[in-house]
Amino acid sequence: MSYALTTLWHERQRYLTAILAVAFCALLGSVQFGLLLGLFSITSMPVDNSRADIWLGAPKVLGVDLGRPIRESQALARLASHPDIERVEGFLQGFSYWARKDGGQELCMVVGSRLEPGSMGRNTALERYPELAEALTEPGTVVFDESDKEKLGVQKAGDEAEVAGSRVRVVGFVKGAKGLAAPFVFCSLTTARPLLRCFPGQITYALGKVKKGASPEDVVASLRRQYAPAPPKADPLASKDMGALSIQTESQKEAAEENALGQDSQAELSIFTSAEFSRRTRVHWLTKTKGGFALGYAAVLGLMVGAVVTSQTLYSATAASIKEFAVLKAMGIPRWRVSLHVMTLAAWVGIIGIVVAIPAVFSLAAVAEMWGVQMKLEAWLLITVSVVTLFMAIGAGLFALRSLRGVEPALLLR
């Protein structure tokens, strides 16, 4: 066992504060970002709760909730043209306005899909309610999460409301499908069209299932090659000679793309695997709303508090051993060797703090889940938080090294 670890163990009461401070940092970072990811994972819920492997949507779609109408026949045909695609179906999603009985209006997110068992777009939240899925096949019927009842001004199944001027009847409620800002309203494709003011023959997405053994990534890559963005029409020279000479400013490119889109909005479609589209949706909202920054600031503050406490604990612990270090210095032991010892102590404080934090993070996640709050603790998040916390502890150790400046062997002589 290293001397640092021995010291840590035998002086654990002294170092406990620093270990807890580090654990607090790791906990705060993991919980805050876990909550944030959990919160924004709601935005990608229709993708995550689907059975589709591939999503095909309007050009440059930023997230699943920001889709635009595309031609159903063309989109489904393009997707189905790939030999590894087993089946395809349409999907509708978009924001609309829910008119409450009391006259108020609420933003809602209409999700229209096929409803038969095994269909790709049917939200898995409906799996536990086969009778509701059955009831939704009747045009003009909708369901939503029971926690959104109050928001949408609905008391019970059978109540009626108006969405985008079309009358709808609520046939029941589900659990685990709560929206972020706008409640999710689930219905059939037929019901969804008027609610989203979509023309017949238009959908928001075409969903595809790949054949067994085929890779969705490969299929998407192949489809992207096939339906790759057409060369900018505004600059025929560049399009002809892309390989040899590709001198084009960003603004020229943008103008060219806009032009291309204007001429044929179906020329290039967005094609993603489900995992890609889910991540794209979450990242969009995370960056767009700046919510990540707000929580990020809090996590940085937590890190700073941890750094100060760790640094001060290490400083006072090192200062308490200053006479022992002075003896070593008198004997000619180089300062870097003692500094390395302090840094090793700091690193161990960091590692133990992180080890202490991990079970606490998972316990808090379990408690949050009991309250209906999702905390998404992905491996990359935990690894990132651990690495940042460890660097914080080592940084605190560097700061604590200033206590070694006072090591003066002559002071030991009385």
Partner 1 sequence: MIQEGTAFSERVWGSDPILQGLHLVRAFGDGGALSRAVDDVSLEVHRGQFVLMMGPSGSGKSTLLAMLSGLLRPDEGRVVCMGEDIWSLNDKEREQFRLDHCGFVFQGYNLFPSLTAREQIELVARWGQGATSAEARDMADALLIRLNLIDKAHLRPPQLSGGEKQRVAIGRALVKAPDLLFADEPTSALDWAHGEEVVKMLRELAKDNGTTVVCVTHDHRLVPFADRLIDLEDGRLKRQSYGFHGVTDQIGHPMQEPGEIQPAIPAKPTLRFRATP
CB of 409 to partner 1, least distance (A): 5
- Note whether 405 binds partner 1 by CB under 8 A: no
| Region 349-368 residues binding partner 1, contact defined as CB under 8 A | none
Q: Which of 127, 130, 23, 82 is closest to 354 using CA atoms?
A: 23
- Note whether 200 binds partner 1 by CB under 8 A: no
- Note whether 180 binds partner 1 by CB under 8 A: no
CB of 1 to partner 1, least distance (A): 10
- Note whether 11 binds partner 1 by CB under 8 A: yes
| Region 277-336 residues binding partner 1, contact defined as CB under 8 A | 321, 323-324, 326-334
If phi > 0 it is left, if psi is from -120 to 50 it is alpha, else beta; for residue 407 that is: beta
Cα–Cα distance between 365 and 360 in angstroms, integer?
A: 9
141 vs 313, beta carbon nearer partner 1: 313
241 vs 408, beta carbon nearer partner 1: 408
111 vs 338, beta carbon nearer partner 1: 338
CB of 299 to partner 1, least distance (A): 34
**Could you tell me which stretch among 1-9, 61-69, 77-85, 381-389 binds partner 1 (CB under 8 A)?**
1-9
CB of 26 to partner 1, least distance (A): 25
CB of 350 to partner 1, least distance (A): 19
Q: String of b and e for 169-205 (b: at least 16 CB within 10 Å)?
A: bbbbbbeebbbbebbbbbbbbbbbbbbbebeeebbbb
Cα–Cα distance between 338 and 341 in angstroms, integer?
A: 5
247 vs 331, beta carbon nearer partner 1: 331
DSSP 140-193: TEEEEEGGGHHHHT--STT-EEEETTEEEEEEEEESS---SSS-EEEEEHHHHH
Residue 211's DSSP bridge partners are none
- Residue whose entry in the numeric block shows the structure tokens 């919510």: 291
Are the C-beta atoms of 177 and 145 separated by less than 8 Å?
Answer: yes
- Note whether 7 binds partner 1 by CB under 8 A: yes
Ramachandran angles phi, psi of 42, nearest 5°: -60, -35
Ramachandran angles phi, psi of 296, nearest 5°: -60, -40
298 vs 412, beta carbon nearer partner 1: 412
3 vs 293, beta carbon nearer partner 1: 3
Ramachandran angles phi, psi of 184, nearest 5°: -75, 130
370 vs 413, beta carbon nearer partner 1: 413
- Note whether 344 binds partner 1 by CB under 8 A: no
User: Number of residues in contact with partner 1, rule: CB under 8 A?
Assistant: 25
- Note whether 403 binds partner 1 by CB under 8 A: no
Are the C-beta atoms of 52 and 207 separated by less than 8 Å?
Answer: yes
| Residues in contact with partner 1 by the rule CB under 8 A | 3, 6-7, 9-11, 321, 323-324, 326-334, 337-338, 409-410, 412-414
